[in-house]
């Protein structure tokens, strides 16, 4: 399935499904987000997210074929431990590593930058 | 066989839509009940550093059904300047309709809003059209 098709499914789920994910929203109620595929590089994704997160937070959605995972950061959480990540790791692999620490907030250090992310939450498509 | 049926089916749907738009009276369009509590949300999907798709939905709190929406494709033309490429929405006019190139004086009607289901279906189709435009056609309608 293409990124276009997966993006449509994610956005429709966010708008329509009652079990929609809880997203970071800025003061105007807008949720800035980026949909990425599991094979995209963590370094590239977080570089882009840092540039776009001018409102102090951001949502990264990893779209798998049968479900999607939401990583939300808003700067208001306290990380429980650090995780050094290579920028060349895939987003899918990052999700697996985060799943090994369920419910914990993690400070991800990648390419000299730090991002505090609570554990990724998984959702089914509508 | 299935493809031929599909084409005929789509042509029939388009004809029915044209006919219903021609006979549609804007005054009788369905609109959300103003006394019903609603929630409005917006999500902005940054496709790249120069392209985004924003969707705004208004839903009844009671049953989560979409009663208004706008799906907007924008491309960056300057540091903090964005140009609207496509907007599909239900605001005013009593129809699901699209505006191109930020020109809201012109509209292309897609379907008359005869009930809430038209809005919900229109949202679904609008998301499809916006993402097809961005990913398959490079955001130049």
Q: Number of folded domains in chain A?
A: 1
Q: In order along chain A (126 residues), what is the average pLDDT of each group of 10 residues?
A: 94 89 88 95 89 80 94 76 85 87 81 78 86
Mean pLDDT, rounded, for B66-95: 93
| Minimum-distance CB partner of A4 among B41, B55, B136 | B136
Q: Which residues of B touch A62 (CB under 8 A)?
A: none
Residue A53's pLDDT is 75
Share of chain B above pLDDT 70, in %: 90
Q: By the CB < 8 Å criterion, does A22 face chain B? A: no
d(CA A6, CA A4): 6
| Parent domain of A48 | 3-124
Q: Residue A104 half-sphere exposure, CB side, CA atoms within 13 Å?
A: 15
- Among A18-22, B97-101, B108-112, B134-138, which is the least confidently predicted range? B134-138
d(CA B106, CA B18): 18
The answer on pLDDT for B103 being more than 70 is yes
d(CA B74, CA B53): 6
Nearest CA in chain A to B65: A16
Q: Do A8 and B64 touch (CB under 8 A)?
A: no
The answer on pLDDT for B117 being more than 90 is yes
Grade residue B92 by pLDDT with cuts at 50, 70 and 90: confident
Residue A67's pLDDT is 93
Best A1, A3, A4 member to test B by mutation, with max B CBs in 10 Å, is: A4
Q: Do B55 and A33 touch (CB under 8 A)?
A: no
Give me the residues paired with residue A74 across strands: none
Residue B138's pLDDT is 60
Q: Do A7 and B49 touch (CB under 8 A)?
A: no
Report pLDDT digits (tens) over B2-52.
455 677 777 777 777 777 776 667 777 888 999 999 999 999 999 998 999
Mean pLDDT over each residue of chain B, to the nearest integer: 87
Q: For the whole model, what pTM was predicted?
A: 0.86
Grade residue B140 by pLDDT with cuts at 50, 70 and 90: very low
Share of chain B above pLDDT 90, in %: 62
Give me the residues paired with residue B104 across strands: none
3-state secondary structure chain A: CCHHHHHHHHHHHHHHCCCCCCCCCCCCCEEEEEEECCCCEHHHHHHHHHHHCCCCCEEEEEECCCEEEEEEECCCCCCCEEEECCCCCEHHHHHHHHHCCCCCCEEEEECCEEEEECCCEEEECC
* Among A2, A116, A4, CA closest to A60: A116
Q: Which residues of B touch A68 (CB under 8 A)?
A: none
Q: Do B43 and A3 touch (CB under 8 A)?
A: no
Q: By the CB < 8 Å criterion, does B92 face chain A? A: no
Is residue B120 within 8 Å of B65, Cβ to Cβ? yes
Q: By the CB < 8 Å criterion, does B46 face chain A? A: yes
């Amino acid at each position: 399935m293409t990124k276009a098709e997966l993006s449509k499914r994610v956005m429709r789920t966010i708008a329509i499904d009652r079990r929609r994910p809880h997203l970071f929203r800025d003061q105007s109620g807008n949720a800035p987000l980026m949909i990425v595929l599991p094979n995209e590089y963590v370094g590239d994704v977080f570089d882009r997210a840092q540039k776009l997160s001018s409102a102090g937070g951001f949502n990264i959605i990893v779209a798998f074929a049968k479900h999607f995972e939401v990583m939300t950061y808003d700067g208001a959480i306290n990380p429980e431990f650090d995780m050094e990540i290579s920028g060349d790791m895939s987003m899918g692999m990052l999700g697996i590593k985060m799943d090994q620490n369920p419910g914990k907030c993690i400070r991800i250090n990648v390419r000299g930058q730090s991002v505090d992310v609570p554990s990724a939450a998984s959702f089914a498509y509508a | 066989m299935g493809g031929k049926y599909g084409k005929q089916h789509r042509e029939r749907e388009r004809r029915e839509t044209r006919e219903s738009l021609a006979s549609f009276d804007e005054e009788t369009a369905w609109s959300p009940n103003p006394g019903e509590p609603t929630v409005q949300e917006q999500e902005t999907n940054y496709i790249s550093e120069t392209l985004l798709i924003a969707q705004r939905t208004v839903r009844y709190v009671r049953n989560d059904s979409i009663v208004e929406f706008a799906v907007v494709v924008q491309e960056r033309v300057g540091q903090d300047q964005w140009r609207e490429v496509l907007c599909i929405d239900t605001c005013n006019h009593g129809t699901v309709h699209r505006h191109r190139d930020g020109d809201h004086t012109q509209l292309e009607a897609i379907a008359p809003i005869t009930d809430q289901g038209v809005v919900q279906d229109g949202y679904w189709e609008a998301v499809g059209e916006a993402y097809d435009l961005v990913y398959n056609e490079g955001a130049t309608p």
